[in-house]
Amino acid sequence: MTRDEARALDAADPLRRLRERFALPEGVIYLDGNSLGALPRATPARMAETVEREWGEGLIRSWNDAGWIDAPTRVAAKIAPLIGAKPDEVVVADSTSVNLYKLLMAALAARPGRRVIVTEPGNFPTDLYMAQGIAAGGQVEVRTAPRDRIIEAIDETVAVVMLTHVHYRTAEMFDMAAVTTAAQGAGALMLWDLSHSAGAVPVDLGAANADLAVGCGYKYLNGGPGAPAFLYVAERHQALLTSPLTGWMGHAAPFEFGDDYAPCPTMRRWLCGTPPILGLAALEAGLATFDGVDPTALYAKGQALADLFVAEVEAKCPGLTLASPRERTQRGSHISFAHTDGFPVMAALIARGVIGDFRGPDLLRFGFTPLYTSFEEVWRAADILADLLASGAWDDERYRARGKVT
């Protein structure tokens, strides 16, 4: 494809104006929205409003007057349509790691006599570490099996199967309905990590009959660094599952200040401490970037951007090997290419204004966020990468120095 042809795709793109909802710096091609979403244009004003008016002037009255107390469920209701959930099946709370802990513990408690958590090796580290922390008590076992053998690993000893829907390194995507059915067929609960899925690929937890899910607020949902995470419990389980972190905000009547814990009947039972209002305000502004957007068109554009990148890189960069599925339906919205010197290549690429990231030992990872990435940018990114590789300019001490790339 030529640059003009890429420009023509942008001109014909019905979603191109959505980019105006973001404040992206000049001279940067941002292909890391799968790690930290870009800043929505409306977020600074929303933060100023929350800080100066709601906090500064409203003071403690804002828990009621500004709707702070309802923010965890109000913001969650805006995530629900992006993941095929009902509004009252989702809550925003804590981090993804903490939510994994809460749901794993709840699932184990709901399956007495079963002590195994099944997951895959190479799952996102925090998923593995949280499960390992639970197993360190000696009562629980973590069983790992490669993704093509995962279903065989699920037997009558398994309490919960925990998998990341879109793999953080390769973007490989599980068949959510098939794995969920297999887990449930063996009597286990299914817990999906949607961190690389929500806002990027079609997710229908309801249609998949999913039991439990978690996900990040700061990636495709544009909630800002360290944004609070979300947690999903299917309606049919809500009365049965309880949080192991029985903080006062999950109590049925927190402001009665009673001595004994009683879980809230709604998803608020998954709250622990006081909700992070500033983070919730930024996440709500992030979610507003999806307002009025046709999800089918959004997903189609994300995949078209990724296809263009794969085609251009494969045509122009002989030293790179595709490490993500070629088939659209089998991957999320990022693409990884392997290069033995991936670290300095990515560092040099970032120095040239193309921001992706590096995932060791050898992956260059590029995220395609259809809300704000253009076809011309994708074309340019591949061109700059090809130029860099052909010149060998990445092979420099400056870029080889280890440190965090992004």
Ligand X SMILES: Cc1ncc(COP(=O)(O)O)c(C=O)c1O
- Residues near ligand X (CB under 6 A) are 95-97, 124, 126-127, 164, 168, 193, 195-196, 216, 229
* Nearer Cβ to ligand X (62/164): 164
Which residues in 27-58 are b (16+ Cβ under 10 Å) and which e? eebbbbbbbbbbbbebbeebeeebeeebbeeb
Nearest-approach distance from CB 276 to ligand X, in angstroms: 13
Of 193, 301, 331, 372, catalytic:
193
* Nearer Cβ to ligand X (214/386): 214
* Nearer Cβ to ligand X (62/123): 123
Nearest-approach distance from CB 125 to ligand X, in angstroms: 8
Query: Is 7 one of the annotated active-site residues of the chain?
Result: no
| Closest-CA residue to 329 (of 194, 173, 168) | 173
Tell me whether the omega of the peptide bond preceding residue 361 falls within 30 degrees of 0, making it cis. yes
DSSP at 252: S
Nearest-approach distance from CB 56 to ligand X, in angstroms: 29
| Strand extents, DSSP E, 202-349 | 212-215, 229-233, 321-322, 334-338
Cα–Cα distance for residue pair 7/280, rounded to 1 Å: 37
Nearest-approach distance from CB 9 to ligand X, in angstroms: 29
Task: Return all residues near 136 (Cβ < 8 A) that are at least 6 apart.
Answer: none
Nearest-approach distance from CB 164 to ligand X, in angstroms: 4
DSSP at 249: G
Nearest-approach distance from CB 193 to ligand X, in angstroms: 5
Query: Is 219 one of the annotated active-site residues of the chain?
Result: yes
Bridge partner list, 355? 30
Judge whether 252 and 265 are in contact, CB under 8 Å.
Answer: yes
Of 365, 366, 372, 399, catalytic:
365
Query: Is 147 one of the annotated active-site residues of the chain?
Result: no
Judge whether 232 and 210 are in contact, CB under 8 Å.
Answer: yes
Query: Is 365 one of the annotated active-site residues of the chain?
Result: yes
Of 219, 268, 269, 359, catalytic:
219
Find tokens 């000049």 and name the residue.
Answer: 26
Judge whether 146 and 121 are in contact, CB under 8 Å.
Answer: yes
Judge whether 333 and 201 are in contact, CB under 8 Å.
Answer: yes
- Structural tokens at position 302: 């994300």
Nearest-approach distance from CB 229 to ligand X, in angstroms: 5
Query: Is 30 one of the annotated active-site residues of the chain?
Result: no
Residues 362, 368, 369, 374: is their CA dihedral positive or negative? positive
Of 22, 30, 124, 372, catalytic:
124
* Nearer Cβ to ligand X (230/379): 230
* Nearer Cβ to ligand X (69/213): 213
Largest CA distance in the chain: 69
Cα–Cα distance for residue pair 127/229, rounded to 1 Å: 14
Of 101, 174, 218, 372, catalytic:
218
Write the Ramachandran bin of 171: left for phi over 0, alpha for psi from -120 to 50, otherwise beta.
Answer: left
* Nearer Cβ to ligand X (163/233): 163
* Nearer Cβ to ligand X (196/269): 196
Cα–Cα distance for residue pair 73/328, rounded to 1 Å: 33
Catalogue the active-site residues: 124, 193, 218-219, 365
